[in-house]
Amino acid sequence: MIPRLVIAPAAQDVGECVAAMIVRAAQGAVSRRGRFLLALSGGQSPLAAYARLASGSGMPWERTHLFWSDERCVPPDHPDSNFGAANAALLSRVPIPPDQVHRIRGEEDPAAEARRYEALLRRVAGEDLPRLDVILLGLGEDGHTASLFPGSAALDERARLVVAVDAPSEGMHARITFTLPLIAAGRRVVFVVTGAGKARAVARVLEVQEATLPATQVAAASRALWVLDEEAARDLGDALRRAGCRAWARQTRPRV
């Protein structure tokens, strides 16, 4: 399968590109369905997009509902909280109604919270299998995405939409994560990946297409779009790099 990707010059360009995509998707969703359902991701890669959304215009915040594709089992003010990072970069700076910000309660019992969050998603979306308008995802150096790690039983889950997962290694936090069926149901799934530290993982997913990697499975099931900076794309072959750079040129071409 040929991946869909955009390769931007730098991380800041990735942020601007992703923010613009989100605004367009939000406006379209509100026009067609009256609201916009967006799942945010953790990590450093999406922070530039969050900052751009916070400083930009055109986003229908009063019609937007926010979710998280995964969360560490920590309180919201913990330095490792995905909610906390998004709150600092975005939520504290925009006029979104507080009752439309649906964080995963990482401080609660993980299994019970996963059940609560799944029920919440179904209730807000009004569907047994919610179709979120945009789901943002990152990529770990080991090929994980959301909190679906290589070898984890969560990767094989097909009935539940949100599950608790054990800490992936000693010294790390347990997690709560979307599962593959929920991600694959998204109207748009966007991987946002920046930095040279992710280059090898990007190549393993997009060039080699290693079937055992969670990100490979998620990308194939969801027909995801990848937005990379040049550092993250540096280990890709020439054909993929040319395709990604052409896609970036189309993104930035002036509209008349």
Reported as a single tens digit per residue, the pLDDT across 225-255 is 999 999 999 999 999 999 999 999 987 654 4
CA distance linking residue 104 with residue 19, whole number of Å: 23
Give the model's pLDDT for residue 254. Answer: 43
Q: Which long-range contacts (CB under 8 A, 24 or more apart) does 210-213 make?
A: 210/143, 212/150, 213/143, 213/144, 213/150
Which residues, at least 6 apart from 115, have a Cβ–Cβ distance to it below 8 Å? Answer: 162
Residue 106: CA atoms inside 13 Å, Cβ hemisphere, count?
Answer: 25
Give the model's pLDDT for residue 213. Answer: 97
pLDDT at 2 over 90: no
Does residue 58 sit in helix, strand or coil?
Answer: coil
pLDDT in tens, 19-39: 999 999 999 999 999 999 999
pLDDT at 119 over 50: yes
% of the chain exceeding 90 in pLDDT: 92
Predicted model pTM: 0.96
* C-alpha distances out from residue 43 to 5, 26, 109, 186, 195, Å: 20, 22, 23, 20, 12
Give the model's pLDDT for residue 97. Answer: 98
Give the model's pLDDT for residue 171. Answer: 77
Q: Which CATH architecture has domain 4-252?
A: 3-Layer(aba) Sandwich (3.40)
pLDDT at 103 over 50: yes
For the chain, what is the mean pLDDT?
95
Amino acid letter, residue 114: A
Give the model's pLDDT for residue 252. Answer: 65
Give the model's pLDDT for residue 125. Answer: 98
Give the model's pLDDT for residue 255. Answer: 42
* Of 15, 24, 90, 17, nearest in space to 46 by CA: 15
Write the Ramachandran bin of 34: left for phi over 0, alpha for psi from -120 to 50, otherwise beta: left
CA distance linking residue 51 with residue 190, whole number of Å: 17
Q: What is the mean pLDDT of residues 67-91?
A: 98
Cβ count within 10 A of residue 96: 18
Give the model's pLDDT for residue 1. Answer: 64
